[in-house]
Structure 1
Amino acid sequence: MKILAPSYVFPNIRHIRTIMFKNIFSSLKNKTELDVTWVIFQPDKFSSTNHHDASLLDIHGFDHAVSLLKNVNPDGILITSTPDIIQYTMCIAAKYLNIPIFSIYVYSKFLVGSKSHQPIHKSIRRLFGKLSANKVSTDSLSQYKFLRRLKFIMYKIKFSFNTLHNIKINFIGSLMTVSKNILADMVDRTRNYNDMADYHFLPDDSWSEFLVKNGIDRESLFITGNPYWENLVCVDNSVQKKSDLQNSVNLLIVTDSLREHNYWSEKQMNEFIQNLILKLQQNTNLNFSFKIHPSSEDKQYYSKLFQNYPKPIQIFQSENLFDIITNFDLVISYGSTTAHTETIASNMKLILIDLGMDLELAPLVKEGISCGLVTMCKSVDNIEKIIYDCLDKNVVISNNLMEKRAALFSKNNESSEQIADIMIEKLSK
């Protein structure tokens, strides 16, 4: 079996896409011979190579998706449901070549479309900020270039037009396809599904009726759970208060990539982080480290931001949050990120700073707030008091939180196993 996986991050980076795909590929390899090709789409070219037991292919080596797919000749392609110019173009070419498309969904339907309530002027401002950015989300400081994101978007649109032209769609038809199905997703990302996929792997039943109403065949829907959340086991039903509050307190600040996704300007981000650090440094018993996004944030950027502080600040990036979180007494975060879900699932107390944005809460946050595991912070000015209040209370994990956690985190590779079985069945026909 040969599978093609488009990705804007390299498979060696810890990212929700790479983790999901790797878990699925691992299950497939236990059941059949597997040949995986990752098609990497980033602004810079690289030499196509191998990564462990998979091939890495640079999209820049092809003028359009049809030639790429013909070169790889996969039995199927695996994508995420998130709207994306390259993924959508790959699907157009796959349909043309009769290659089955498998789409995997990350979140429940009610968690998608978190920015849909933003005023139109904020959406336009964010779009303008995205188009004028000198970087893409995966860039380091050394890769920043004038209008880099816009130039890459133009490259992807050209790649899409070339693909449509190759399958004999005229210019007007190509323009309508790009405008309706691709460029629209740059403005409104609430759609979050790909109607060209042949098979849809859903985390739960919340998507089913929505997809059917939008023309998706019910027989193509499979409720499999999410392989990203596999193998987390947390059996404790209580969290005890910290007994030695007079001694040092170890805090982990988990960031959200709001700047990288143009919800914040660089100035807003810097001011927020510096203000938070200033408040924490007023108490010498508070020690803190940062855990930044593994692919969408730049460690060099944070190192430069922290270089003038009197005490070194440790920055984690590639590390698994589950592996380091037990070294800390409390987590502080903001925005909306899967790290919040992982923190709560680990029975770690979380202070969530309210930024006044219209952001949906990550899975388990609502249940965490209800039982006291998560504490909302309206102002950084009160952060020290909130820290000690959190540490000085016992928390009993509610049945509701335990049930939601059990439903979200499948054990023993159940999700990947189920997806692998479905893929083998469909591709063997």
Structure 2
Amino acid sequence: ATSPRLNSQALGFDVIARNAIQTDPHFAGGQYYDQDQRPDTGLAIARMLGHITYLSVEAMEAKFDPDRHDPRQIASQFEQRFSIGSYLAHQGQKFTTRFDANSYVTLSMAMDLFDLGGTRLKLMETFNEATCDFLLVSFSSDWLFPPAQSREVVNALTALDKRVTYAEITTNAGHDAFLIAKDIATYGPLVRERLRDTETHPAVPSDIALNVDEESILDIIPAGSSVLDLGCGNGQLLAAIRDRCRDSGHVATEHRLMGVEVAQENLLATAMRGIDVIDYDLNHGLPAFIDNQFDYVILNATLQAVENVEELLGEMLRVGRHAIISFPNFAYRQLRDHYVTHGRSPKAPGEFDFDWHNTPNRRFPTIADVRDLLGQLNVVIDQEVFWDVDQGQRIEPDNDPNLNADTAVIVFHRKDQSR
């Protein structure tokens, strides 16, 4: 819940707070310690303003709207017409009993002058020689340090191939979320995992049970390859790739395994496996990554759920030397029969068995459809693996997989990309 530097809005609040203090008639140019009165009015106002910036609209509505016109009665010089007014008056006055005005001015100015860089290039220069692991956590309703600013740091670290995990915690508590018990319960395990001594406290056992398309992907990727898994789920495929690398002596490439995920439970599960993962919506492309950063970029069982398929495939080919996609084939014979015979919308097999009204699938690709699209993208198909998962059989390419396979795995690369 921080940023490489304050944005102009946050700077503005600090400027107002310092003005409130420094224009207080009792500030005396900061030399008020031997005076009868201190700049308590200015400091209280600064605290009131700062306190608001820590809250979200939702949090303030929940806290103050039910009794908006029923403020607490407290002795104060500040307005108390509304419940929010009496609350802020109390917070401001209490603050003057435990904090110093000059300290507030000095610390807020230090925050305002802190600047790691305002561009991605500058941030990359700042972090270039860092050797530590990074964990960044932001909060969805934090408008003082919005998640976009955390992602600026993440994007720079990712481009530098630094070890980084990032999670945006969904909460209505605003910046204050870092103090709220239920939000601590969400992000706390991420902190604990990243502070874990890997020698004395190994990672949570992988407990890996790959499905057939994941097993096929694992077989395709050579040991020691750098891998980006888009929509990585609970991280079990990446953990299996890592474990195989360790078994084959390729530990040095471990930091080049990374996942992208949006579901918070999956982010936590992946991080608990000791895998780097960043919270990112694939519908926005892959701007965090640079060209040819990974040997393989995987899109496993997610193709039918993304918004802009063609754009994402192009991004995969930009970021990776090879791309691997797996997807349910909606031309599978049982789905055809279900549609034609029963007149019902098709359901993908297994974990994609949804009704038409609650499906996460945006579209219903077939193997023939995907092959046509890849042809339009002018790529080279390196390998295809087809499965009838329902029957537990691998379908050969000459056995009409568009009819007989319910799951497909396709590996491809750009024509101008060396294999």
What interval of TM-score do these two structures reach, taking the shorter chain for normalisation? Answer: under 0.3
TM-score (norm 2): 0.27
Which of structures 1 and 2 has the larger relative contact order (alpha carbons within 8 angstroms, sep 6+)? 1
Greater gyration radius: 2
TM-score (norm 1): 0.26
